[in-house]
Homo-oligomer: A and B are copies of this chain.
Amino acid sequence: MKFGIVIFPSKKLQDLANSYRKRYDPHYALIPPHLTLKGPFDVSEEQIKEIAEKLHGVAKRFNPLHINVPKFSSFQPVNNVIYLKVEPTQELQDIHEAIDALQIGETSEYSFVPHITVGQKLSNDEHSDVYGSIRMQMVNHEEVVDRFHLLYQLENGSWTVYETFRFGKE
């Protein structure tokens, strides 16, 4: 089964992200807006119980953290993904590293850029149009994140939550 690890931001930020995702993200109906901590990995249903226990251990070691979302950004020229930029902080970096250190599946080849995707699989023209119109828009959103989630993917490509992990809790 394919699993992933994400933070769901507040309803307010999810609603904002969805107002763009609806038009610009083909994954709109497959998963709520999210900040990916670990991208898709394949493990068996047996193994996932052990991994979930380890993730409880990781969550326990961290406190709830502030995240700051200043504005939109883009991965261009690497790809045509537009996202809500989440200010990289030491806490986010540490959590990402703690999860990576569990050595589940393959380690990501990309450096960790915390973000919430709002548009992807756009043509170059679409990307220019959309990003051109929202890049100057300030978001300046702050919130406290107190949990993350382990998800699995169904055959239709959509994601269901397996378990929640609260920071500072066993």
Residues of B with C-beta under 8 A to A154: 11, 14-15, 18, 32
Q: How far is the CB of A155 from chain B (nearest CB, A)?
A: 5
**In contact, B163 and A18 (Cβ under 8 angstroms):** no
**Separation of A147 and B65 alpha carbons in the complex (Å):** 26
Interface size range of chain A in the complex: 20 to 34
CB-CB contacts below 8 Å: A18-48 with B: 18, 22, 29-30, 32, 45
Check if A1 is an interface residue, CB within 8 A of chain B. yes
Check if A160 is an interface residue, CB within 8 A of chain B. yes
- Provide the A135-170 mask, 1 if CB < 8 A to any CB of B, else 0: 000000000000101001011101111111010001
**In contact, A18 and B164 (Cβ under 8 angstroms):** no
**In contact, A29 and B32 (Cβ under 8 angstroms):** no
Residues of B with C-beta under 8 A to A29: 29-30, 158
Interface secondary structure of A, over-half rule? mixed
**Separation of A161 and B163 alpha carbons in the complex (Å):** 9
**In contact, B161 and A22 (Cβ under 8 angstroms):** no
Q: How far is the CB of A24 from chain B (nearest CB, A)?
A: 14
Residues of B with C-beta under 8 A to A155: 15, 18
| Given A8-B161, A18-B158, 15 additional A-B pairs, CB 8 A | A1-B11, A8-B160, A11-B45, A11-B152, A11-B160, A14-B160, A15-B154, A15-B155, A15-B156, A18-B155, A22-B156, A32-B158, A32-B159, A149-B161, A149-B164
